Every structure is written in structure tokens, then in C-alpha cells.
Amino acid sequence: MNLTEEHKINQDWREVANEVEKASKRISGVVSKTEFEHNYFLSEKFNAQIYLKREDQQIVRSFKIRGAYNKMSQLSEEEKQRGVVCSSAGNHAQGFALACFKLQIRGIIYMPSPTPTQKINKVKKFGQQFVEVRLVGDTYDDAYDQAYKECQNINAVFIHPFNDLEVIAGQGTVASEMIEEHEDLDYVLIAVGGGGLLSGVSAYFKIKSPRTKIIAVESKGAPSLYESLRVGEPAMLSEIDTFADGIAVKHMGALCFDLCKNAVDQSLLVEEGKICSTILELYNEQAIVVEPAGAVSIAALEQLRDIEGKKIGVIVCGGNNDINRTQEIKERALLYEGKKHYFLIRFPQRAGALREFLETLGPKDDITHFEYTKKTNRTSGPALVGLELNQAGDFEALVQRFSTSGINYQHLNNNPMLFEMLV
């Protein structure tokens, strides 16, 4: 990088930092100044000073109200009359809806069809008579395409969830609050979807606290920034895992990428199973309720090296978790931790075969699934069996007992095609 390029980058960061400070005044009184609290459990676990920026404490339970309100509060009266449109996987929709209500602007919200019901209901509650929700497609990108077309058709103002300077500045107010309380942070961990939060926060830190290392975190199933950094430009992902729906996008914003590509010191990916384990750990140990996107940055702490004694800020970006997903989260966590296993067991079709199988199980092994249909004119019949183990280390002894006892089995966890078909 030459001096001219470096000067341009710093100029861009400084522009964002200036807009962040204006946004802080603009959103005051509407957006909560959330706690930036020392977390005892995580600090003890990693032997570091770890602080959580609790954006899950916003009235809409995510940081998205910051950017949406900052953008929409600057619309002209003529633009407000034309109305606004947005696309969202849920959290931007809630911020957008509340901003519509506060500013009394008519809005249309396009959301992916798999969006959790809890998020849809909250959107309607925050926006009341000022918003209309339309469910389309399977991903955020599908919703975005439909929203953008509708916006052009009715000549409304599109409120982008991330790829907009005023939205980015609004999200960056998270950083100004963090630095106000702790200006000597060694690391900041930030969840990444489209890149609005990362762009605003990283630009502000680069100007106000350049020593702080910026750690960008994504789910392994939707690595838009990771792939973009690898190829040097915003990459289009062909497929994504939408489990961490708040950060599951196929294509990050071009403006966001330009702002953060030189600001990110490290880009990390977290497996969805690890995210699930973290969600359950936070709830069971600390009574903190977070969504997958809100847990991903905490889940990434284990990947950092040499953090003992360091002062670390982690942005908990959202807490809109649907209680109906609890069983799925538990299942993914157990599979990731090696405590849940599925097998095809081919039982001899004779009396006593099931009893012989049961005798191979350990005293704390729990059968969570058993599906078997007796076959006619066959010497054996397959059963789908799910087992939950007390410890991951019990697995090797279990399959050894299967082999010793002559149990005809096939382990499904590492066979994606069969697992998806049968489980």
C-alpha cells in the first residue's frame, strides 16, 4: 500500500468517524445506551478481561435500530411522504419498524419466508399501523431482490440494512459508546453479515483507538467477508447455511467491504454447532438469551491466541431467539460436542435381538430416537437409532462394544447424504 492509498483509507475512516459522532446525537433519546459490562464467567474461562456490549438489551433486542433511525430521521418531508421499503432477515426489520412508528412514516418490509415467527410478530408490534410485512423467498438475498424491485415500482425510499453510509454511521455508535467507557481495548470481536456494523465500528476504532485489533467473526456456513478478503472483492456465495439468520447473506455490501477490508486484523469462522453450544452455555450459566448471530463473537473467543491478560470487547449484536428453535439448537450443540450420535442398526429378525443391543449400551447412554419396521421375508431389518452420550469420550467404547457383540451398525454423523435423508 502506497502513501496515497493509505491517506485515502484514513480519510474514509475519518469521514465515517465524524458521521458516527453526529449520529450519536441524532439517535439520543430513541436508542438505548446499552451496558458494556465486565463478564466474570468468560473472564475466568479465558484468563482475560472480557466485556460484553449488550446490544441484545435494545428495545428491539439488536443494534439495528441505530442505523435505521439515523438514516430515516434524515429523510426530507418529500421522501417521507413517498414511504420507505426495506429487506431484512429480522433484526433490521424491527429497527426499521420502530423507526417508522417513531417518525410516522409508512413502510413495507420484505423478509425471507423461513424468518422465525417471533421476529415477524415483533416487527408488526413495533411498526403497528405504519408497516406491512411481506414474506418472500428462502434467503435475505431473495427478499432484497423483491424489495428493491418494489421500491422502484412505487418510487419509495429504500433503507438498506448495511450498504449505506448513514446506516453504517448509526451502527458505528456502538463503538463510540464502547470507547467512552474503555478506550484501552486490545481486541474487539464483531459479528459480520452484510458488514454494516463491522464497517462503522472498525472505522471508528481505527481513528479513535488504532491500537485495538479488529476481529471479524462469521458463521462457517455464510462466510461472505472471509471469501471476499480471500479474492480481494465482494464475493457472491452460491449457497449459505441460514441457521445464523441475522448474519446469513450471500453477498456483503460493496461500500462495507471497501471500508473494512483494511481495518480487519483477523477474520474468523465459527461452526454452527459451536454457536449452538455457546447459546446454551450463556443461557444455562448466565441467563443471557442470545440469537445465533449474537453468540457467534463469543463463540470465537476460543480461536484467539495469546489473549491472557488482554482487555477484550465483544459485541453481543442480537437477542431475538425464537423459543421454537430450542430443540434444534440443542441437537446441533450435542452433535458438535460429540455427545449425540445416529446409527443404522441392522437387527436380526428374531426374538432377543433388541435385548442384545440394549446390553451393549453404557449405564448413562440415552436412546433419544428409535425407528424400526419389521420386514417380511428378510433375515434382518434396519432401525434408525439416536443415542445421547454422557461424555463425548464414551463414543469409542460404545462402538467397540458394538463390534465385540457383533452388532451390524453404520454410523451416520459423518455421512452427510444419509444423515440428511434419514435424520
Would you say the C-alpha torsion 161, 230, 301, 329 has a positive or negative sign?
Answer: positive
- The answer to whether 188 and 214 have CB atoms below 8 angstroms apart is yes
Q: What pLDDT, on the 0 to 100 scale, is given for residue 105?
A: 98
Domain stops at, among 124, 158, 192? 158
Do 276 and 312 share a domain, yes or no? Answer: yes
Domain co-membership, 302 together with 224: yes
Say yes or no: 199 and 140 in one domain: no
Number of domains within the chain: 3
Tell me, what CATH number does 126's domain have?
3.40.50.1100
Is residue 174 within 8 Å of 201, Cβ to Cβ? yes
Task: State the distance between the two ends of the chain, measured CA to CA, in whole angstroms.
Answer: 51
What number of other Cβ atoms are within 10 A of residue 323's Cβ? 10
pLDDT at 73: 97
CA 413, CA 243: separation in Å to the nearest integer? 19
**Which domain does 404 fall in, by range?**
338-422
Taking the C-alpha atoms of residue 411 and residue 348, their distance in angstroms, rounded to an integer, is 18
One domain for residues 301 and 206: yes
Tell me: do 324 and 391 sit in the same domain: no
- The 10s digit of each residue's pLDDT in 4-53 is 777 688 899 999 999 999 999 999 999 999 999 999 999 999 999 999 99
Q: Are residues 57 and 170 in the same domain?
A: yes
What percent of the chain is modeled with pLDDT above 90? 83
Chosen domain end from 330, 361, 378: 330
Q: Say what the alpha-carbon torsion angle 337, 265, 58, 321 is, to the nearest 10 degrees.
A: -20
Q: Pick the closest to residue 339 from 272, 270, 386, 286 (CA basis).
A: 386
In three-state secondary structure terms, 408 is: coil
Q: How far is CA 44 from CA 75, 115, 182, 372, 392, in A?
A: 47, 36, 19, 47, 24
Q: Tell me which of 330, 358, 387 is where a domain ends.
A: 330
Residue 197 near residue 191 (C-beta atoms within 8 A): yes
Q: 131 with 197, same domain? A: no
The H or E element that residue 176 is part of is helix 165-181
Q: Which residues contact 172 (CB under 8 A, 6 or more apart)?
A: 16, 17, 19, 20, 23, 199, 200, 201, 203, 204
What is the pLDDT at residue 215? 98
pLDDT recorded at residue 375? 65
Which positions ≥6 away from 179 have C-beta within 8 Å?
185, 204, 205, 208, 209
Q: How many helices (H) and strands (E) does the chain have?
A: 17, 14
Mean pLDDT by 10 residues, the chain (423 residues): 73 96 96 97 97 97 97 97 92 96 97 83 94 91 91 96 97 98 97 97 97 98 97 95 90 95 97 98 96 97 95 96 89 96 92 92 95 72 93 95 94 86 77
Co-location of 289 and 310 in the same domain:
yes
Structure-block grid coordinates of residue 114: 423461513
How far is Cα 25 from Cα 103, in angstroms, rounded to an integer?
16
Rounded to whole angstroms, the Cα distance separating 215 from 182 reads 17
Q: What is the DSSP string of 250-308?
A: SS--HHHHHHHTTT-SEEEEE-HHHHHHHHHHHHHHH-----HHHHHHHHGGGG--S-T
Asked whether the beta carbons of 71 and 96 are under 8 A apart, the reply is no
Residues 212 and 254 in one domain: yes
Cell triple for residue 93? 426489520
Instruction: Give Dmax (Cα) for the chain.
Output: 81
DSSP state of 75: -
Q: What CATH number is attached to the domain comprising 393?
A: 3.30.70.260
Measure the CA–CA gap between 216 and 205, rounded to whole angstroms.
Answer: 13
Tens digit of each residue's pLDDT (9 = 90 or more) over 299-323: 999 999 989 999 999 999 999 888 8
**Nearest CA among 79, 74, 151 for reference residue 109:** 151
Element spanning 315, H or E? strand 311-316
Closest CA to 54 of 170, 174, 197: 174
Site of grid cell 424400526 = 372
